[in-house]
Amino acid sequence: MKLDNQTQLSEFLLLGFSDDPALQPFLFGLFLSMYLITECGNLLIIMAILSDPQLHTPMYLFLANLSFSDICFTSTTIPKMLVNIHTQSRAISYEGCITQMFCFIMFATLDDFLLTVMAYDRFVAICHPLHYTVIMNSHFCVQLILLCWVIGVLNGLMLSLLVLRLSFCTHLEIPHFFCEINEVVHRACSDTFLNDLMVYIATVLLLVVPVSGILYSYSKIASSIRAISSKQGKYKAFSTCASHLLTLSLFYGTSIGVYLSSSAAPSSASTAAASVMYTVVTPMLNPFIYSLRNTDMKRALKRLLFHK
């Protein structure tokens, strides 16, 4: 395809969930409510952790970063969708699409690796409690967080910049509510082999490495818990992991569910609907999981909200 044809590309069209005008107010209200709950809930988690000196520990440092990542994660997709519904427009500029793609991939990768680091933190706390403060010192924790950010940024840059090499024809409709990389790449007229290959490699590596680390950590944790003689000790050890386990189940369960649903029924509409669980519902539920199942967090939130 000629270069001058590509330079004429100015925007994509995000088809969203439905073109039924009667359904638009419901979708706007639903996603606005979910977005506000997500932002407020995660912001409260961050403020509670910052305001309570007793929560200035590695576990809550990682949790604050996860909450910040979730705030940014949902902010890359939902506001643009709400603006499009409100203005009855489906357009997103070419530059805006690439930017949204980069931010989405970066924060999804960041979530992935932060959850892995949190699993490692629980592994050290339960399996090596006497050495916990030495291993999980502040310097090492900051390095782990920086590593998560670097991996996220590099993955987002690599995959989104590769899209810039593609040429696009006239079929610019994306059957999704955001610029999902596979949907965008498959709209290209030029050869997409390199893009498909890099997406596949990145997905495998960013799934296998974190999941392997998480499974190893919790296999060791399970062995340590079984070795505890008292029921009270077992319950206390398990309760420190309960919130993280539930978050892991939601994050990987919904993302794998999206993958399986798109494979079983490769309808773009069904894939977009299933993606809501991974992109919106999981970040919205995380604050509830960590506040309702964690006594220290509940105490910090009460002190923050009611000045007790």
Q: Are 148 and 113 in contact (CB under 8 A)?
A: yes
pLDDT (0 to 100) of residue 96: 93
- We report the CATH number of the domain holding residue 160 as 1.20.1070.10
How far is the C-alpha of 43 from the C-alpha of 223, rounded, in Å? 35
Run of H or E including 173:
strand 173-174
Residue 9's pLDDT is 67
* Cα Rg, the chain, nearest whole Å: 21
Domains in the chain, number: 1
pLDDT tops 50 at residue 7: no
Does residue 90 sit in helix, strand or coil?
Answer: coil
**Which residue segment(s) compose the domain that 88 sits in?**
3-306
What does the pLDDT read at residue 267? 54
Q: Where is pLDDT greater, at 256 or 259?
A: 256
Classify 14 in phi/psi space as left (phi over 0), alpha (psi -120 to 50) or beta: beta
Residues 55-80 have pLDDT tens digits of 999 999 999 999 999 999 999 999 99
In DSSP terms, which residues pair with 188 in a beta bridge? 168
Check whether 308 has a pLDDT greater than 70: no
Tell me, what's the pLDDT at 8? Answer: 53
